[in-house]
Amino acid sequence: MADSLDSNTTRDTPTGGAPGSAASTTPSDTGHPARPRTSRQLMRRQAKDQQWRDEFPYHWSADDLVTRRDTLRFLVAGSSALLVASAALAVVGSVRSSTNMAVRPVARVGELGINQWKMIDRYPDQYAQGILVNLPGNRLVAYSDVCTHLSCAVLYQPDKQHFYCPCHDGLFDAYSGNVLAGPPTRPLPIIQLVEHNGIIYAVQETER
């Protein structure tokens, strides 16, 4: 009888636990696992966010559409302005002043013999100069002494009535200023001369 009682007592006691421990269960014993604290906090935050959106509705899709539209308009306007500015600069750079007005005496009548020449300093401004030549036939001519290739100074050759650029062998006709040889593609700028009361005046320089 005692053995029977002992065996019954053993069956009623859970394995590996003290008597009466079966009555104290944990949430995992009930078949419903406990939710982590982080999950509960996330749910509370989502609930608050949803409440805020319900109380202050805002059309996010419309905002994205307006933002994209404004950005596109800004890019188009900026590109157009840049194009107009570039075109204006190109026009201003291509249109140079073809005539420089400056009146000043450069020589006296009869001062230069045939094939003689002299420099016209600081004409038409302080950064430039010209060259005055008395060609055969008592013909006075004057040109800028700046080569139209790379702005080297030209030299007069009396025996040939040429202007020679020693930098790249440019050659100009002294009677017309036109290019005879070398890399220059434009004639020398001509300086207009006027005689008054025995004085030769340089009046203006004209690019051609």
The per-residue pLDDT for range 118-152, each reduced to its tens digit, is: 999 999 999 999 999 999 998 999 999 999 999 99
DSSP structural state of residue 56: S
Neighbours of 149 (CB within 10 A): 18
> Which pLDDT score is estimated for 96?
46
Does the pLDDT of residue 63 top 70, yes or no? no
Contacts of residue 99, Cβ cutoff 8 Å, sequence gap at least 6: 204, 205, 206, 207
Q: Report the predicted TM-score, pTM, of the whole model to 2 decimal places.
A: 0.55
136 conformational bin, left if phi > 0, alpha if psi -120 to 50, beta if neither: beta
73 vs 107, which has greater pLDDT?
A: 107
Residue pair 124/204 in contact by the 8 Å Cβ criterion: yes
**CATH assignment of 99-206?**
2.102.10.10
Q: Where are the domains of the chain?
A: 99-206
DSSP structural state of residue 153: B
